[in-house]
Amino acid sequence: LGGFLSRVFGGVPPPPPVAAAAANTPTHIGDIGTMVKPRKAPIKIEPKVFFANERTFLAWMHLSVTLAGASIAIMAFAEDQNPISQLYGVLLLPVAIAFIVYSMYQYSRRAYMIRNRHPGPYEDTVGPAILGIMLMISIVAQFALKLYSVAGAGI
């Protein structure tokens, strides 16, 4: 775990690939069999790229803190006699934590790629879809718990 964190946050390059696997596949950009053309001119990284990465990170953190705050508020204002009402907030808290972990991971990954002038891809299409599905499942579970508690009360 320490090696992973030092590579992500410290900017240490990953270890070289295994020699047996590297013998059959090209490992450098521009080798025969690769689709990426090597750049002749140095890549200039403008500060706005770093700021855009940080702005995206802050937007994800804003959403994460909002979800966590809603979860804690639901647990704080829930009825003490009914343990099902406490579950509303408990169901939302892991989703908020997943949003926080995802945003920290993406920010550090993109910052590493920008610092090392990696050509990309910088976008992630799978992560937001998974987080959206998690949030949807959490809301559906809260709705089902509410229906269960109303049906159990006999109203």
Asked if residues 111 and 50 have their Cβ atoms less than 8 Å apart, the reply is yes
pTM score, two decimals?
A: 0.68
Residues 126, 124: Cα–Cα separation, whole Å: 6
**What distance in Å separates the CA atoms of residue 53 and residue 12, rounded to the nearest whole number?**
20
pLDDT in tens, 66-76: 999 999 998 88
**pLDDT > 70 fraction of the chain, expressed in percent and rounded:** 71
Would you tell me the crossing angle of helices 83-115 and 126-153 to the nearest 10 degrees?
180
Residues in contact with 80: Cβ distance below 8 Å, sequence separation at least 6, in sequence order = none
CB 83 within 8 A of CB 55: no
Q: What is the tens place of the pLDDT at every residue in 74-114? A: 888 887 777 777 888 889 999 999 999 999 999 999 999 99
- 76: helix, strand or coil: helix
pLDDT at 63: 95
